[in-house]
Structure 1
Amino acid sequence: MRITDAQIHLWSGQGAPPHHIRAPFTIERALREMDAAGIARAVNCPAIWDASANDYSIEAATAHPDRFATMGWFALDGSTNAATVDEWLAKPGMHGLRFVLYAPEAGPMLQSGALDWLWTRADEREVAVALMVLPDHLPLLGDLARRYPRMRLIIDHLAIGPFALLPDAASHLGSLLELSRHPNIAAKATGLIGAAPDAYPFSSTHDILRRTFDAFGPERMFWGTDITRMQATWSDCVSASTEQLSWLTGVDLELVMGEGISRWIGWP
């Protein structure tokens, strides 16, 4: 089985937020730890706290195209437009875009049409776009999915924030699962172990994973870690899904553990 982590952050500078490890998470370190945990590949979401992280992602994907793909980001401050999408997707190793809209002001931005240029171009290019949003904004993603059916949306971390703990952290799960009726929306089950109040095998996450799997299916639920903010080891994050979920086996397991995200972002 070829395991692909659906989300990591690579960065080489300083200044990481306190909920991530403070040291840079370099290409060399990631490869070393991936090898130790039996992880073949990873989707790199360049760290938003390091201005050079997008350039570093190109370095990673160019040197190790079989190990790293990138979902890059750019500023959504009025300085960018549809041409920026084309420019970004032309970069080496770029297999999609990812934006952190985890803020109250993102709701009006999503509703106002201010980002329609982005969604339109992503729809035209049939590109994958990952979004980290507040739970209250999940219904807005359903509207996006209807309006832009060729854009392949990914909801980061099951819309669970970095500081919340289960079970309260997943109180919005019903709203998330409602979105599974849109065939162009997928759920990234990354970061979930970080919200678990219990130790390995993180039993508090099992029902959430099963319900998400039942709703989205194996082709649209993606395993991953966001490893730099996990207290658990990468190996434990792997085995928590490959060995501790009795209902996840065979082809379904292969899809959840990497083939699904690879197909969704077009990474052969």
Structure 2
Amino acid sequence: MREMEGAEVHRAVIVPPSWEGDRNDLALEVARLHPDRFAVMGRITIESPESRGLMAAWRHQPGMLGIRLIFRRPDLQRILSEGHADWLWAEAEQAGVPVMILIDSHHTGLIDRVAERHLGLKIVLDHLCIAGGAKNEEAFKDLDQVLAVARRPNIAVKATALPRYSTESYPYRGIHPHLRRIYDAFGPKRVFWGTDLTRLSCTYSQAITMITEEISWLTEEDKSWIMGRGVCEWLGWKM
């Protein structure tokens, strides 16, 4: 919270770390203690029979906004490609539970089909589907595959941890043209800023001012949507 105060960040959506497994209790406790500052996109074990039926009451948990899924390992990719997650899309759509998904760009076609079949399901693609460790032009070489799903009005993207994808110094101007393409495809209401604070190569404040002060073509209204209003409305977190 000291970092947030110093950077004048009023709210944060917490994603519980994957290395602890699919547990949400600690994140939910933080949201319970500070409901005006934190909310949670929780984890769920898709392949567990006990997970079925949970979506109906998922958002009844104080501080819980939705679910966050990872499909990067081959075994997790098979869950998606072989249809083993189909039950979850239907349940989440029915219950109004938004979903954040971390997936490689070359698998976005699978998410496109999910979005087409479940028009009421709100989906956010995390980290612009950029491969971990990629830098500069290499990081954005498959951006066209992400931009292709912008045609689905129920898909948004998180422009998260952007400085880590550049070897330049602040304000990372080599990234700006890619941001323009993302903005043009999705519009300001479906592009959500985020930091992924522990992975930043700059200060928290610089991760913010990179967007709010260094990109001249963004209007003040654009910045309002990208820097928080958009994600709050998408996830149903009342402002």
Normalized against structure 2, the TM-score is what? 0.95
Listed as ranges, the gaps of 5+ residues in structure 1 are 1-30
Counterpart amino acid of 1:57?
Answer: A
2:211 and 2:135 map into 1 onto residues whose CA distance is 19
1:45 and 1:72 map into 2 onto residues whose CA distance is 6
Per the alignment, residue 76 of structure 1 pairs with: 46
Of residues 179, 182, 193, the one that matches 2:163 is: 193
2:61 and 2:18 map into 1 onto residues whose CA distance is 18
| 1:220-264 deviations in Å (ceiling 9; x for gaps) | 000111111112110010010000000112111100000000000
Does residue 231 of structure 2 align to residue 261 of structure 1?
Answer: yes
Residue 74 of structure 2 aligns to a residue whose secondary structure is coil
After alignment, is 160-169 or 180-189 more displaced? 160-169
Per the alignment, residue 32 of structure 1 pairs with: 2
Counterpart contact for 2:128–2:146, Cα < 8 Å: yes
Deviation for aligned residue 1:53: 5.4
1:202 and 1:32 map into 2 onto residues whose CA distance is 25
Residue 219 of structure 1 aligns to a residue whose secondary structure is helix
Per the alignment, residue 157 of structure 1 pairs with: 127
Per the alignment, residue 25 of structure 1 pairs with: none
Residue 214 of structure 2 aligns to a residue whose secondary structure is coil
1:104 and 1:212 map into 2 onto residues whose CA distance is 27
Per the alignment, residue 17 of structure 1 pairs with: none
- The structure with more helix, counted as a fraction of residues: 2
Does residue 101 of structure 2 align to residue 120 of structure 1?
Answer: no
* Match runs of 1:130-209 below 5 Å: 130-209=100-179
Residue 232 of structure 1 aligns to a residue whose secondary structure is coil
1:86 and 1:49 map into 2 onto residues whose CA distance is 27
Flag the 1:52–1:140 CA change in 2: closer, same or farther, 3 A: closer
Q: How many aligned positions are there?
A: 238
Deviation for aligned residue 1:85: 2.2
Counterpart contact for 2:23–2:43, Cα < 8 Å: no
Counterpart amino acid of 2:193?
Answer: W
Counterpart contact for 1:111–1:140, Cα < 8 Å: yes
Does residue 208 of structure 2 align to residue 238 of structure 1?
Answer: yes
Per the alignment, residue 14 of structure 2 pairs with: 44
Listed as ranges, the gaps of 5+ residues in structure 2 are none
Flag the 1:235–1:53 CA change in 2: closer, same or farther, 3 A: farther
Percent identity between matched residues is 39
Counterpart contact for 2:159–2:192, Cα < 8 Å: yes
| 1:2-21 deviations in Å (ceiling 9; x for gaps) | xxxxxxxxxxxxxxxxxxxx
Counterpart contact for 2:46–2:88, Cα < 8 Å: no
Of residues 79, 92, 99, the one that matches 1:129 is: 99
Of residues 175, 182, 192, the one that matches 1:212 is: 182
Does residue 78 of structure 2 align to residue 108 of structure 1?
Answer: yes
Counterpart contact for 2:45–2:51, Cα < 8 Å: no
Counterpart contact for 2:101–2:123, Cα < 8 Å: yes
Q: Bigger relative contact order, structure 1 or 2, given CA contacts below 8 A and separation 6+?
A: 1
Counterpart amino acid of 1:99?
Answer: L
Counterpart contact for 1:222–1:258, Cα < 8 Å: yes
Residue 113 of structure 1 aligns to a residue whose secondary structure is coil
Normalized against structure 1, the TM-score is what? 0.85
Counterpart amino acid of 2:114?
Answer: L
Counterpart amino acid of 2:111?
Answer: L
